A and B are shown apart, each in its own frame.
Chain A
Amino acid sequence: MNAPPDVDELIQRLADGLRPLVGTPADTCVVGIETGGAWVAERLRPLLDPELPLGSLNISFYRDDFSTLGLHPRVGPSTLPVDITDKTVILVDDVLYTGRTVRAALNELFDYGRPAAVRLAALVDRDARELPFTADVVGQRLAIEPDQQIKLTGPEPLTLIFQ
């Protein structure tokens, strides 16, 4: 197993890939999925445009495993600083895996409004998708054994670790 990739490098790669998709602060906002995606979004924004509105989504109340696992121990309010209707939302996740987190995030986003577009940025994209989602921009694709996990730890420093 190789060493996990450098997070700052991946965030820079995300910024480079996202730049053509980002408009002005009036029509684009960055939204990170708690917890790791929110950390990445916070680092990503200054590389795109520091004036872009920044929000975070806590998807605990939208997860599809609630009926089997119950509530996540850490629940908190989502924070969207602007009305997302008719705006481009840059949705940021740390690890894109089954797609279930993205599904929950989209459900929640649409409870807040109807975005003009949602662009998905994932720091890491690993195999084993269970739902038909693909990221618009990826920091790095990684092939990981099914019994392995990759996890973003933070907020300072941001580090990817294999488990």
Chain B
Amino acid sequence: MTNGSIHNKPELAQYDANGQLRHLVGIGGLTAAQITRILDTADGFNTAPGTAPTKVPLLRGHTICNLFFENSTRTRTTFELAAQRLSADVVNFDVGTSSRTKGEHDLDTLYTLQAMGATLFCVRHPDDGAADYFARHVAPGVSVINAGDGTNAHPTQALLDVYTIRAHHPDFHNLRVALVGDVRHSRVARSTIAALQALGATDIRVVGPNAFLPHDVDQLGVSTTTDFAAGVDGADIIMGLRIQRERIQGSILEDENDYHRHYGLTANNLAHAKPDAHIMHPGPINRAVEIDADIAYGPNSLILEQVRNGIAVRMAIMALIAGGRTPNDTT
């Protein structure tokens, strides 16, 4: 699981010959129809704020394992809630108290949990390509959902992002999106860009200091600018991104205050944006660095809606993966 190794393998088949979703390790290769099916399914699980959450018996008998080798609050919680609301049994693998600290290989951990009856793994890992690697090693009938691997991909976050956007801007072809911040190290940005493009979005801008702009702009098919005002001009969606300190080697950003002044989602900077532009952020937010609290929780913010939608979208992915398969069907 070394950086870049995933690009040297044949692409993992995320759908089987019958068009059944088997793994979700990335957005790459998904069609607009496949993404739309996931989003439409999520609609069925979504309840209005303040109403009782949907709990359905779809995955009764299934064991879903949250295999998190990296810290997470909202992602793990929403995966857990999604599984519980589908009536699955849920195991949360805590890396801090696991045998991994005794030297157990990650695959041994996977095989052990698989032997205990886990049929679906939601994997978060610091290494690029980890979810793909696990998906190639699980037993037939066992599935993997990528909950974020290194700087590579975070497909469920991307799907909940486009789900949230769709509710406010159904026409992706005429959508203008500005991603502001550390795109270079952001798995969310890569996956969200891919999902937006699959649904027809063409005007995607990446805004930030040079140190945060991606190296592979040509491959991503986005425009880049270091000028915040130009980048957010006319944008319907402005998505802030967290500075990925844990993935940055050495000091890449000299002055956070300077970053906040030039690129932070602040009232002052957003004066350059449309008054009705929606603000998004995958979380967790660094207040007073990439976003101010009054913007994060202001009238134009969709951030808490993103969190709420994360449960329905993950329920949809789990349901589509497990559908047509009994819990004991590992052949």
Chain A residues close to B by CB (< 8 Å):
58, 60-62, 66-71, 73, 75-77, 107, 111
Contact across chains for B44 and A77 when beta carbons are under 8 A apart:
yes
Flag whether B323 is at the interface (Cβ < 8 A): yes
Contact between B43 and A66, CB atoms less than 8 A apart: no
Residue of A nearest to B326 (CB): A67
Main secondary structure of the interface of B (DSSP, over half): loop
Contact call B55/A111, Cβ cutoff below 8 A? yes
- Taking a contact as CB atoms under 8 Å apart, the answer to whether B41 and A71 are in contact is yes
Note all chain B residues with C-beta closer than 8 A to A71: 41, 319-320, 323
- Find chain A residues with CB under 8 A from B43 CB: 75-77
A70-B329 Cα distance, complex, nearest whole Å: 13
Contact at A62–B40, with CB atoms within 8 Å? Answer: no
The 9 listed contacts between A and B (C-beta, < 8 Å) are A62-B56, A66-B324, A67-B323, A67-B324, A68-B326, A70-B324, A75-B43, A77-B43, A77-B46
Bound: A111/B58 CA distance, A: 14
Contact B320 A70 (CB under 8 A): yes
Segment 35-80 of B: residues with Cβ below 8 Å from A? 37, 40-41, 43-47, 54-58
- In the complex, the answer to whether B41 meets A75 with C-beta atoms within 8 Å is yes
Q: Are A61 and B54 interface neighbours, CB within 8 A?
A: yes
Is B325 in the interface zone, CB < 8 Å from A? yes
Cβ-based interface call for B20 (8 A)? yes
Question: In the complex, what residues of B have CB within 8 A of residue A73's CB?
Answer: 37
Q: Using Cβ atoms and an 8 Å threshold, which residues of chain A touch B56?
A: 61-62, 111
A69 touches B55 (CB 8 A): no
Q: Which residue of B lies closest to A64 (CB)?
A: B57
Cβ–Cβ contact B57 & A107, under 8 A: yes
B44, B47, B319, B324: which contacts A76 (Cβ < 8 A)? B44
Q: Is the CB of B47 within 8 A of A77?
A: yes
Distance between Cα atoms of A152 and B326 in the complex (Å): 31
- Distance between A23 CB and nearest chain B CB, rounded to angstroms: 25
Q: Are A61 and B46 in contact (CB under 8 A)?
A: no
- State the 6 A-B residue pairs at the shortest beta-carbon distance, nearest first: A70-B323, A70-B324, A61-B56, A75-B44, A67-B326, A71-B323
- Residue of A with least CB distance to B323: A70
Rounded to whole angstroms, the CA-CA distance of A58 and B324 in the bound complex is 19
Q: Chain A residues with Cβ under 8 A from B41's Cβ?
A: 71, 75
Q: Which of A67, A75, A107, A111 has the most CB of B within 10 A?
A: A67
CA distance A4 to B179 in the complex (A): 58
Which of A61, A62, A69, A77 contacts B324, CB < 8 Å? A69
Instruction: State A60–B20 Cα separation when bound (angstroms).
Output: 17
How far is B58's CA from A60's CA once the two chains are assembled, in angstroms? 9
Whether the Cβ atoms of B46 and A66 lie closer than 8 Å is: no
| Residues of chain B from 1 to 49 with CB closer than 8 A to chain A in the complex | 20, 37, 40-41, 43-47
Question: A-facing mask of B314-331, CB < 8 A → 1, else 0?
Answer: 000001100111110100
Inside 8 A of B44's CB, which chain A residues have their CB? 58, 60-61, 75-77
By a CB distance below 8 angstroms, the chain A residues around B54 are: 61, 77
Task: Select from chain A the residue with minimum beta-carbon distance to B320.
Answer: A71
Kindly list chain A residues whose C-beta atoms are within 8 Å of the C-beta of B329: 67
B320 touching A61, Cβ below 8 Å: no
One digit per residue, 1 when the CB lies within 8 angstroms of any chain A CB and 0 when it does not, for chain B 95-118 equals 000000000000000000000000
Chain A residues near B45: list those with CB within 8 A.
61, 77
Closest to A107 in B: B57
Whether the pair B55, A75 counts as a contact (CB closer than 8 A) is no
Residues of B within 8 A of A61 (CB): 44-45, 54, 56-58, 319
In angstroms, how far is the closest chain B Cβ from the Cβ of A81?
12
